[in-house]
Structure 1
Amino acid sequence: MTGIVLFIVAFILLMVGIPVAFAFGASAIFAALIDPNLGLDVFGLLPYRVYGIMQNFTLMAVPLFIFMGFILEKSKIAENMLESIGELFGPVRGGLAIAIVIVGAILAASTGIVGASVVMMTIISLPIMLKHGYSPRLAGGVIAASGTLGQLIPPSIVLIILGAVMNISVGDLFKAAIIPGLIIVGLYIVYILIVAFLKPEIAPAIKTDKPYSKILFQALKSLVAPFILIAVVLGSIFAGFATPTESAAIGALGSIILTFFYRTFNMELLRYATVETVKITAMIFMILIGATAFSLVFNESGAGDIVTTFFTDSISNQYAFIAITMVLIFILGFFIDFIEITFIVIPILLPIVQEFGIDPLWFALLIAINLQTSFLTPPFGFSLFYLKGAAGDKIQTKDLYLGIIPFILIQIITLLIVIFVPKLVYILVN
């Protein structure tokens, strides 16, 4: 009963607009007070739980990767890359949309900050796409979906948090996520090519008077800095030279060094990246504390054992369990963010995963792919909020919601591919 009260109260508080961290914390306090076997004494364990999380060395990578992302976003490095690659693919039918997908993947591998990627691509690319006759639905869908690639393609904040919560090597998670990430990118591009072939009027080619050799040179030049950063950050992890946290520190320093080469460094840039990093990191860890209180009450009330018993006794097939959990996480993604889902739902599911003998690495990748859709699913898809806020009246909300449906379906297809072909996860890990 306490577990049900927890979720009902948390849901009500979220719906009335209470910040997530406080909603989960308040629901935990309320449930503890009404449970005669708990009371407020149960929170005597909370400082030890929080302190244990704070000692997790892996989580230090979160603010460092966030900082790196903001430096690249504000230093014009990412902006130059988007403009030059857009010109490179522009003459191809649907080429500008394909360029956005490719840039989204590169930004994902070098920053992983969804909000910054979506806003930047919206400001730069959306007016150009609409001016040249692109469908608002296709333009909005491509930008919103491409911006979410940072949720799966390493160095992903989602993968770092999943690794910490599930006690899995983040380096292995990064390796395992590359193939599914490339599958999503490939399917996005295939979809755009098909749409551009069937309906040329919604994704026309863009003519340019510039010599193509000059455009190619500019595009390659713009890719040098991001690829150096990707090679240093991910290469050091995959080669075993550095842990994810150490490589994040290298990446943060490397992004600053690159701004000197591009002559965009100034104190305002450093101040902006630092302040924004502190804001987002504080938000994440406040949610973590609220979610820890929620999980503490849930487990101490015995609800966790009831859930485990239900799945292991009533559902003997691991694929039925996976299907139920994937649908549950997908539905939750309509209402709450990936951070809350990771901190609240995953600790509940973890004992069941172990009971069924499911490989946690594979299961973590399924969750990561699923969580990527939470940025696109209305009404609370954050990628949609970012795009609409940056676009203003250039695109209607209806067109935006309809435009992202094909990309959500592509993510679901990718999820099914990884479920039925699990070997894809282990290609680079092994």
Structure 2
Amino acid sequence: MSGLIAHLDLLMFPVAIVLLLRGFPVAFTLAGVGLLFSVLGAVFQVGFFAGGDLSFLRALFGRIFGLMDETNEVLVAVPLFVFMGVTLERSGVAADLLSSMAKIFGRLPGGLGISVAIVGMLLAASTGIVGATVVTMGLISLPTMLKANYDKRLSTGIIAASGTLGQIIPPSLVLIILGDVLSNAYITARRNAGDWAPDPVSVGDIFAGALLPGLILVGAYVLYILCVALFAPHRAPSVVAEGEKVSLGPVLLLLAPPLLLIVAVLGSILFGVATPTEAASIGSIGAILLAGQRLSDRSSLPQLVAVIGAIIVVYFVLNFDLRLAKSTITSGDKINIAIVSLGLIAFTWGSAVSLWRIWLSKTADEPSVLTSILRASLHMSVMVFAIYIGAQVFNLAFRGLGGEETVNEFFTGLPGGPWIALGSMLLIMFLLGFFLDFLEIVFVVTPIMAPVLFSFSGADGSVLFHPVWIAVVMGLNLQTSFLTPPFGFALFYLRAVAPKEVTTGDIYRGIIPFVVIQIVILAVVLWWSDLATWLPALLTS
């Protein structure tokens, strides 16, 4: 009994996992386990609860207030990116992307598979939610691939793998949350090590760090599909009949707007034009304009006017002083202000027309597509922040029971030093990925383990593990976990929407080559850290 009491902190994890596997809601499970073990700590006089009271949990209010604080702009991007992704999905823009890509690559053996991988990358980066992306791609792509006589195993492997790319391809919800958590852990760890002026780590740095490894991973997927099509063409046939003509003009016209939107969102972050929150708002408005154009057979003039108005506003704001509070306003200033005002009116009109068109569009389950979008966005956003609050209770209880010291002693005492500690942490996160979604792992496990990694110093006294590199490695590691049989989350999501002729065995066998690709790319990034750190350093130099 005394042994169990001495390790209450470690018992929290198996208890939480068992309850989650029983189907209890994640947020309430984390908060409930935290409160339960806090009470046990007070009863048995353990750690910071040795006084017999729960006053240590008062820090929870400060953490929640920090979440709502106006200075915490990073997490504001979460509901905006969710809204952007859901709008692209529910409006049918994602389906149009797939059909357009399929027409471009359709003549190639494996062309449809390549299209699915690329569209999955774009959709995964927009939503960032593994379940939503895999289900969406399964519903849109799998029937099309099976109808085109694609091999069932190859089809399911492509869909499951591309659906998890949101873990590593920016702009990604996962990287936003991971960036916020790792940034705080990095600063805390470096201050504890005596470094009171650590270089800040932004979400933009992590986006830049993840871009190159993510694109290499997508390239590896595409290369594998081409190899299958070359050596076993019956598994990935061409979907365009011999002699059938495909006009590239209309196809590119469909393809260009969503691609330009994603490039604009990511580019504005990477080049420092906008913060992640500002870029997310750009993406949300862009998704509204695209959906308004897609869901109506009327003229695209309102969307075009809105885009032109937005470009005018951005140009004049970046190049002229438009403040009305200046002591002197010249005639030139008045002209600029009038032009910007017209641009704002044009932008507002085009956006309002787009929203109205989305509102008038019907769905099978909702009276309006807009209602469906808002419900799904609200559900996902509330889920994220509820889990965040529950994780804060869990983490506080873990710290109060002495868990931070236990983890620190465990990792620093491992034979082999820092690299064994890193490998152990990745292994633990990989195994937890079988049972927990990325939100629980990022919010619960990362704040506990990451400070230990950042406490290790190199020979020159600098941090041994670069936080951007750690973020990319974590993202790749979690993505691999979500794909690995028999417990990978992505496989269960795909099984739920796959037709009866596709068996669970087909899904498991189909994903194995992609898991091997994942492991190879993860090993390359671990060995060659410059893949993750070169671009952020270049952009900040």
TM-score range, shorter chain: over 0.9
| CA contact 2:258–2:290 (8 Å) conserved in 1 | no
The two structures, once aligned, show a CA RMSD in angstroms of: 1.9
- Tell me what 2:30 maps to: 24
Q: Which amino acid aligns with 1:157?
A: L
1:155-192 CA distances to partner (integer Å, 9 max, x unpaired)?
Answer: 11110001111123001111111101111101111111
- Counterpart CA distance in 1 for 2:484 and 2:76 is 29
The residue that corresponds to 1:152 in the other structure is 168
Q: 1:261 deviation in Å?
A: 3.1
What residue number does 2:283 align with?
Answer: 251
Structure 1 residue corresponding to 2:411, chosen from 306, 311, 317: 311
In structure 2, do the counterparts of structure 1 residues 220 and 109 end up closer, same or farther at CA, with 3 Å as the change threshold? farther
Counterpart of 1:184 in structure 2 is 217
SS at match of 1:314: coil
Aligned AA for 1:94? G
Query: Counterparts of 1:276 and 1:66 in 2: how far apart (Å)?
Result: 9
Corresponding letter in the other structure for 2:261? L
Counterpart selection for 1:239 from 256, 262, 271:
271
> Alpha-carbon deviation of 1:4?
1.6
* Partner-residue secondary structure (3-state), 2:107: coil
Pair 1:70-2:78 in alignment: no
Give 5+ residue unaligned stretches, structure 1: none
Does residue 1:266 correspond to 2:280, yes or no? no
In structure 2, give the amino acid aligned to 1:412. Answer: I
| Equivalent residue number for residue 179 of structure 2 | 163
* Aligned: 1:134 with 2:150: yes
The answer to whether the aligner puts 1:385 opposite 2:418 as a matched pair is no
Residue 403 (1) aligns with residue 435 (2): no
Cα distance, 1:63–1:374 mapped onto 2, change above 3 Å:
farther
CA distance in 2, matches of 1:117, 1:428: 27
Contact 2:120/2:163 (8 A) holds in 1: yes
CA 1:12–1:116: 2 relative to 1, 3 Å: closer
Larger Rg: 2
How far the C-alpha of 1:380 sits from its partner, in A, is 4.9
Q: Report the AA paired with residue 513 of structure 2.
A: P
Q: Secondary structure at the match of 2:278?
A: helix
Percent sequence identity is 45
Report 1:209-248 matches (<5 A). Answer: 211-214=244-247, 216-248=248-280
Bigger mean CA deviation after superposition, 364-373 or 304-313: 304-313
The more displaced of 142-151 and 367-376 is 367-376
CA distance in 1, matches of 2:154, 2:244: 28
Number of aligned residue pairs: give it: 429
Instruction: State the Cα deviation string for residues 353-400 of structure 1 (Å, max 9, x = none).
Output: 221132111111110111222432345533323322322314112211
Provide closer, same or farther for how the CA distance between residues 301 and 228 of structure 1 changes in structure 2, counting only shifts above 3 A: same
Question: C-alpha deviations, 1:255-313, integer Å up to 9, x for none?
Answer: 11222333444212222111111101111111111111111011122121121123223
- Residue 241 of structure 1 aligns to a residue whose secondary structure is coil
Instruction: After TM superposition, give the deviation of residue 93 of structure 1 in Å.
Output: 1.8
Task: Work out the CA distance in 1 between the residues paired with 2:67 and 2:511.
Answer: 36
Compute the displacement of 1:253 (Å): 1.0
Give the C-alpha shift of residue 114 in structure 1: 3.7
Counterpart contact for 2:31–2:394, Cα < 8 Å: yes
Equivalent residue letter for 1:93 = P
The whole-number CA distance in structure 2 between the counterparts of 1:156 and 1:192 is: 25
**Structure with greater proportional helix content:** 1
Match of 2:8 in 1: 2
Change (3 A) 1:206 1:254: closer
- 1:233 corresponds to which letter in structure 2? V
3-state SS, counterpart of residue 92 of structure 1:
coil
Superposition TM-score, scaled by structure 1 size: 0.94
Alignment of 1:28-177 (within 5 A): 28-35=34-41, 36-37=45-46, 38=49, 39-55=53-69, 56-167=72-183, 168-177=201-210
The change in CA–CA distance for 1:377 and 1:20 in structure 2 (over 3 A counts) is farther
C-alpha contact 2:414 2:421 (8 A) present in aligned 1: no
Conserved? CA contact 1:333–1:377, under 8 Å? no
